[in-house]
Structure 1
Amino acid sequence: MSNIFLSGQLVCSDQNQAAIVARFLPLHVELTRAEQGCLSFEVKVTENPLVWQVDEQFQDAASFRLHQQRVSGSAWGRATADIARRYEVEGI
């Protein structure tokens, strides 16, 4: 079993997208941290208010994939679908 790490940025194109992130992020973080296999999950705004740093760690590929599936159908996933993501995933 190998840990999976995701690190990168969520990049908003304007203040409207940043407001969407701020609105939906608290529940997204709460639900993700409660997922089986989530070892750590942090999303924090950077010095640029349109850019959010994302760092995730899951215990294995299966838990990471389940997270990705849950997110794609969630309120967060739908609300932020048009926001650019620049992520790198290690361990898969």
Structure 2
Amino acid sequence: MGKVLLTGTMRCDADEVDAVLSLMAKHERLSQAESGCLSFELWQDELDPCSFHVNEVFRSERDFEAHQERTHSSDWGRVTRHMPRDFTKSTA
């Protein structure tokens, strides 16, 4: 099995932007430190402050699933769980 790539956008309401921004750097740092994380980028859209973009690359499906498990139980997961996501997952 090859690398797992995830790209896409997450949206929040205007009154949630500060909460997302307050957790973003920690979420990115923890994700980048995970075993099997080859690349993890998370940024706020310059034109639409309620949109956040992500590009992730993990070495394997197992590494990606471990990332998902960690994320769901984190502060990031708790705060952003309900926010709509338009993500595409693929393998390379």
Q: Same fold (TM over 0.5)?
A: yes
Aligned partner of 1:66: which letter?
Answer: A
State the 1:45 CA deviation. Answer: 1.1
- TM-score of the superposition, structure 1-length normalised? 0.93
Aligned partner of 2:70: which letter?
Answer: R
Aligned partner of 2:24: which letter?
Answer: L
CA deviations over 1:6-65 (Å, ceiling 9, x no partner): 0000111x2222111101111111100000000000111112111111110001100000
- TM-score of the superposition, structure 2-length normalised? 0.93
Superposed CA RMSD: 1.3
Quote the residue 1:57 is aligned against: 57
Matched residue pairs, number? 91
Q: Point out where structure 2 has 5 or more consecutive residues left out of the alignment.
A: none
Matched, 1:69 2:69: yes
Quote the residue 1:24 is aligned against: 23
Q: Point out where structure 1 has 5 or more consecutive residues left out of the alignment.
A: none
Quote the sequence identity (%). 33
Quote the residue 2:85 is aligned against: 85
Quote the residue 1:43 is aligned against: 42
